[in-house]
Amino acid sequence: MEIRRYTFIALIIIVLIGVVVVVGKSEVSPGVIIVSMIATTIAVATPLTLGALTGVFCERAGVVNIGIEGMMLASAFFGWFGAIYMNTILKMGAFPSLIIGVIIAVITGGLLGLLHAVLSVTFKVDQIIGGTVINLLAVGISGFLNRQLFFEKGSIFGGQVPHAPGVLPRLHIPLLGDIPVVGTVFEQQPITIAAILLVIITHYVLFYTRWGLRTRAVGEHPRAADTVGINVYRMRYLNVIIGGLIAGLAGAYFTLESVPSFEPLMTNGRGFIALAAMIFGNWSPFGSWAAALVFGAASALQINLQFFRELIPPQWAFFQSSAVVGMVPYILTMLIMTGIIGKTRAPAADGIPYEK
Amino acid sequence: MTTILELKGITKQFPGVLANDHVDFDLKKGEIHALLGENGAGKTTLMNILYGLYKPDSGELYRDGKEVSLNSPKDAIAIGIGMVHQHFMLIPVFTVTENIMLGEEKLKNAVLDRNGVSAKVGELSQKYGLEIDPESFVEDIPVGVQQRVEIVKTLYRKAEILILDEPTAVLTPQEVEDLFRIMRELTSQGVSIIFITHKLKEVLKIADRITVMRAGKVVGTAIPSETDESHLAAMMVGREVILNVEKEPAQPKEDVLQVIDLKVNDLRGLEAVRGVTFSVRAGEILGIAGVQGNGQTELVEALTGLRQSTGGKVVLQGKDMTNNPPRPIIENGLSHIPEDRQRHGLVLAYPVADNLVLCNYYLPPFGVNFVMQNKAIDENARKLVKDFDIRTPSPFVPTSNLSGGNQQKVIVARELSRPVQLLIANQPTRGLDVGSIEYIHRQIVNMRGKGVAVLLVSAELDEIMSLADRIAVMYQGKIVDIVDTQKTTKSELGLKMAGAQAQA
């Protein structure tokens, strides 16, 4: 079953990469295209991977989180604001400013996680409504503050967007990064590398530690956990907050690692695609990552096809339109969510508030 | 024998109910002390107090003569009390080992020590004769084995006092035998057991002492050798109960239901009913006996139109109803008391009145030209609540508020108040108390007296033996034999149920 799922995922990725190779091979060697596609895939999958891990922590503990999108958006804004504030007002160096920005983003995510926990665990609000509240709140607050802080006359930045401190630098990994051609795959920025490490850590925590066993227990059968002395509310609170912290890191990716700017609504549905990746990955960290890579590959296809626009044969002209290629990730989401790849299984108590 | 546990004057008040009223209870080392009472008598409340889930309003608790106060299950576990809940507290997707260690995890270098716990589980299961495979997933093992996992779970926490809450409700007769063997093994090694039940036969068979509760009070204590079923039943219910159903000899007439070589697949697409042929005549009760999971569920679903059959014929009152949807079958005279009353028999969120017209709401007088006639529905509800003695504050409360016995009465009232020719009753008394069982049995016999054909499916052999005129034994999707109740014995049927005689 699981083998089928991963084979299917690998197949889609190969097809997506293959398309770019076929189009671009007359100008660039296939090896270079493949390496570049893989590197881009891993990088652009980062917010999806992190968002999916957020979902894994929350839902394994029995709390549905559709507020990942909002958590990411708010964190992207506050992280970016923090970095600029440090850099422009406090005259801090670019790199320390970025680091503080990341920390602020992570804390923002954690606080929104706390809000979600208060709503869904303590007040037992319908968790879909709770998540929607967070999404709306994030859109409103980031849009409003963005206008007030940067574009209003008399604001702290004097009515214009100051020069941003740039983005987090690529890290050079010794040995792996030194391999010719293939080495570029490993030349990634810090949040991307953190995301991959978090996949491994989450898997380990969930399936090999006491914390993980108890987390899964409260997500499957909270009363059973309660009768053996596990504090269901505490476990759910902490896991939702951990999820929020990870969503905060995903938010930082948008404004501190990918591009050095903030746009209203810039997360552009990726919180929801992350949720789809989590479901497609059957609520497991590695499965979620693999699914995130599929969506990453679809985005990489879009990015790379732009370089080769002129090479697209005339009978495929509609592929030149970025609107068409840009749809690929969303069409893939819908296809995958129809369940063509067998059944997934949510934690049994997912979304159900626990009444003592 | 020393007294290891004593409860004195336990009182617990819930809004509107005095669940426990100055209850005294004690337990001696190595004994099986049965706590007997109807649903709602206060047994479970008392045990939840003993397990630290509720705090009593007043009263004291002594463990080995010392007063203790319990604020959570953790406290109860700490003084050696373990509870096996009626609805198992197991996580289906976890392994047996993971379930047992949850909350008391053993770690090795900060990582779960699955092998260590697994070995310990093996040791415990050997010591007490509880066969379980530590590596298998709980969802893959039968209910009886899951119960053993629950028992090992308490032993792993070093329990010396074991509370078993209605442990036989979910078991097949063979599994009950197994459980009793395990209980004796446990007590012989010094474990004491509180056995909560409302089944009289079991109490007499296994208990050393019996305490009977009614309406929150202890009404008396008895020793099995000095009492009998009817005496205990009277103590439980507070009046004389007729345990044996009195009925006239059957006067069967024409065939109402004919089933010819019927084949049905189960949910997984495997053949669950493998060609059965029988008929039920007007004015008789045909019982279907068999261990659960031998195709009875699928057979009933096919007869009632809830599941498509893959071959054969169902003829009701001379009309071929094979693979018809439920409505035409109902209109042709079927009434059905389903196996799972909460999932298939009722819409729990609906008021009692609406549940009482679920089959015929669209027909006058209840529905006229697409409009529900609330007056008629209300009148119908008031009448049926009175006639069938449904205990509800009003016909307009959600059906989920009623006790299990009264929910079942709602179904019985709905199904038997219509003009019917065939009654299919699947496990009609499962989980009910003595009073309700007596009532429902009487209703079924009354229907037979009125010339209705009755098909009774039950896992309780006693129930089948006392009600049915003929008994069909099902084993692995086939009817092994159809016998006259008068000409057979319980042990003979038991053998057939276990597949001893594969040919009819």
As beta bridge partners, residue B478 has B475
Q: How close is the nearest chain A Cα to the Cα of B353, in Å?
A: 29
**C-alpha to C-alpha distance for A91 and A88, rounded to whole angstroms:** 5
Is B139 exposed, middle or buried (CB count within 10 Å of its CB: 0-12, 13-18, 19+)? exposed
Residue B312 DSSP SS3: strand
Q: How far is CA B374 from CA B366, B381, B385, B484, in A?
A: 7, 10, 16, 47
Residue whose entry in the numeric block shows the structure tokens 């051609």: A181
pLDDT for B501 equals 55
Long-range contacts at A270-273 (CB < 8 A, ≥ 24 apart): A270/A47, A270/A48, A270/A51, A270/A69, A270/A72, A271/A51, A271/A67, A271/A68, A271/A69, A271/A70, A271/A71, A271/A72, A271/A73, A271/A135, A271/A247, A272/A66, A272/A68, A272/A69, A273/A48, A273/A51, A273/A329, A273/A330, A273/A333
Q: Count other C-beta atoms under 10 Å from residue B327's C-beta.
A: 11
Chain A residues in contact with B107 by the CB 8 A cut-off are 210
Chain A residues in contact with B112 by the CB 8 A cut-off are 208-210, 213
Q: Count other C-beta atoms under 10 Å from residue A30's C-beta.
A: 14
Structure tokens at A192: 């991307």
Name all domains of chain A by residue range, CATH numbers in brackets.
2-20+27-149+191-337 (1.10.3470)
**C-alpha to C-alpha distance for B244 and B193, rounded to whole angstroms:** 30
Cβ–Cβ < 8 Å for A83, A103: no
pLDDT for A63 equals 97
Scanning every residue of chain B, which has its alpha carbon at the shortest distance from the alpha carbon of A217? B91
Nearest to A210 among B77, B92, B107 (CB): B107
Which residues neighbour A129 within 8 Å (Cβ) at sequence distance 6 or greater? none
pLDDT in tens, A107-150: 999 999 999 999 999 999 999 999 999 999 999 999 999 999 88
Report ipTM for this prediction: 0.90
For residue A120, the 8-state DSSP code is: I
| More confident: A291 or A328 | A291
pLDDT in tens, B38-55: 877 888 889 999 999 899
Interface touch A216/B94, C-beta < 8 Å: yes
pLDDT for B107 equals 93
A105-144 burial string, b = 16+ CB within 10 Å, else e? bbbbbbbbbebbbebbbeeebebeebbebbbebbbeebee
Which residues neighbour A177 within 8 Å (Cβ) at sequence distance 6 or greater? A183, A186, A187
Q: How close is the nearest chain A Cα to the Cα of B105, in Å?
A: 7
Residue whose entry in the numeric block shows the structure tokens 């009950």: B176
pLDDT for B446 equals 92
Cβ–Cβ < 8 Å for B196, B210: no
Task: Please choose, from the candidates B11, B192, B158, B166, the residue with its C-alpha nearest in 3D space to the C-alpha of residue B76.
Answer: B158
Interface touch A228/B104, C-beta < 8 Å: yes
**C-alpha to C-alpha distance for B254 and A137, rounded to whole angstroms:** 72
- Dihedral over alpha carbons A237, A243, A246, A247 (to 10 degrees): -110
State how far Cα A108 lies from the chain centre.
15
Which residues neighbour A86 within 8 Å (Cβ) at sequence distance 6 or greater? A92, A96, A97, A100, A101, A165
Chain A residues in contact with B98 by the CB 8 A cut-off are 213
Chain A residues in contact with B74 by the CB 8 A cut-off are 229
**C-alpha to C-alpha distance for B146 and B155, rounded to whole angstroms:** 14
Residue whose entry in the numeric block shows the structure tokens 């890191």: A249
Q: How close is the nearest chain A Cα to the Cα of B308, in Å?
A: 24
Residue whose entry in the numeric block shows the structure tokens 């099995």: B224
pLDDT for B502 equals 46
Q: How close is the nearest chain A Cα to the Cα of B102, in Å?
A: 7
Structure tokens at A49: 């991977």
The amino acid sitting at B268 is R
pLDDT for B249 equals 84
**C-alpha to C-alpha distance for B18 and B216, rounded to whole angstroms:** 7
pLDDT in tens, A231-271: 999 999 999 999 999 999 999 999 999 999 999 999 999 99
Interface touch A224/B93, C-beta < 8 Å: no
Cβ–Cβ < 8 Å for B458, B428: yes
Name all domains of chain B by residue range, CATH numbers in brackets.
3-237 (3.40.50.300), 253-333+420-504 (3.40.50.300), 342-418 (no CATH)
Nearest to A227 among B89, B101, B111 (CB): B89
Interface touch A229/B73, C-beta < 8 Å: yes
pLDDT for B138 equals 94
Cβ–Cβ < 8 Å for B202, B232: no
Q: How far is CA A311 from CA A18, A19, A235, B440, in A?
A: 15, 12, 55, 80
Interface touch A217/B102, C-beta < 8 Å: yes
Quick check: B107 contacting A, CB < 8 Å? yes
pTM over 0.90: no
Q: Which helix (H) or strand (E) holds B34?
A: strand B32-36
| More confident: A307 or B81 | B81
**C-alpha to C-alpha distance for B153 and A217, rounded to whole angstroms:** 15
Interface touch B92/A220, C-beta < 8 Å: yes
Quick check: B111 contacting A, CB < 8 Å? yes
**Confidence class for position A339, pLDDT limits 50, 70, 90:** low
Helices (H) then strands (E): counts for chain A: 14, 0
Task: Please choose, from the candidates A48, A67, A15, the residue with its C-alpha nearest in 3D space to the C-alpha of residue A289.
Answer: A48
**Confidence class for position A175, pLDDT limits 50, 70, 90:** confident
Residues of chain B with pLDDT under 50: 502-504
Average pLDDT of the residues in A286-303 = 92
**C-alpha to C-alpha distance for A26 and B457, rounded to whole angstroms:** 75
Q: Is the dihedral of CA B306, B310, B314, B320 positive or negative?
A: positive
Chain B residues in contact with A209 by the CB 8 A cut-off are 110-112
**C-alpha to C-alpha distance for B385 and B13, rounded to whole angstroms:** 28
Which residues neighbour B239 within 8 Å (Cβ) at sequence distance 6 or greater? none
Chain A residues in contact with B72 by the CB 8 A cut-off are 229
Nearest to A230 among B85, B98, B103 (CB): B103
Among B51, B87, B102, most A C-beta atoms within 10 A, so best to mutate, is B102
User: How many residues does this entry show for chain A?
Assistant: 356
**C-alpha to C-alpha distance for A315 and A311, rounded to whole angstroms:** 11
Residue whose entry in the numeric block shows the structure tokens 């078993």: B164
3-state secondary structure A205-274: HHHHCHHHHHHHHHHHCHHHHHHCCCCHHHHHHHHHHHHHHHHHHHHHHHHHHHCCCCCCCCCCCHHHHH
Half-sphere exposure (CA, 13 Å, Cβ side) for B273?
27
Among B91, B93, B115, B149, most A C-beta atoms within 10 A, so best to mutate, is B91
Residue A344 DSSP SS3: coil
Helix, strand, coil percent values for chain B (each to nearest 5): 35, 30, 40
Cβ–Cβ < 8 Å for B82, B159: yes
Q: How close is the nearest chain A Cα to the Cα of B160, in Å?
A: 16
Q: Which residues of A touch B (CB under 8 A)?
A: 208-210, 213-214, 216-217, 220-221, 223-230, 345, 348
% of chain A with per-residue pLDDT over 90: 67
Interface touch A216/B91, C-beta < 8 Å: yes
pLDDT for B401 equals 83
pLDDT for B370 equals 87
Task: Please choose, from the candidates B421, B99, B474, B40, the residue with its C-alpha nearest in 3D space to the C-alpha of residue B272.
Answer: B474
Q: How close is the nearest chain B Cα to the Cα of A211, in Å?
A: 10
pLDDT for A341 equals 63
Q: How close is the nearest chain A Cα to the Cα of B45, in Å?
A: 15
Structure tokens at B180: 């009793």
Cβ–Cβ < 8 Å for B95, B137: yes
Is the pLDDT at A33 greater than 60? The verdict is: yes
**C-alpha to C-alpha distance for B295 and B387, rounded to whole angstroms:** 35
For residue B245, the 8-state DSSP code is: P
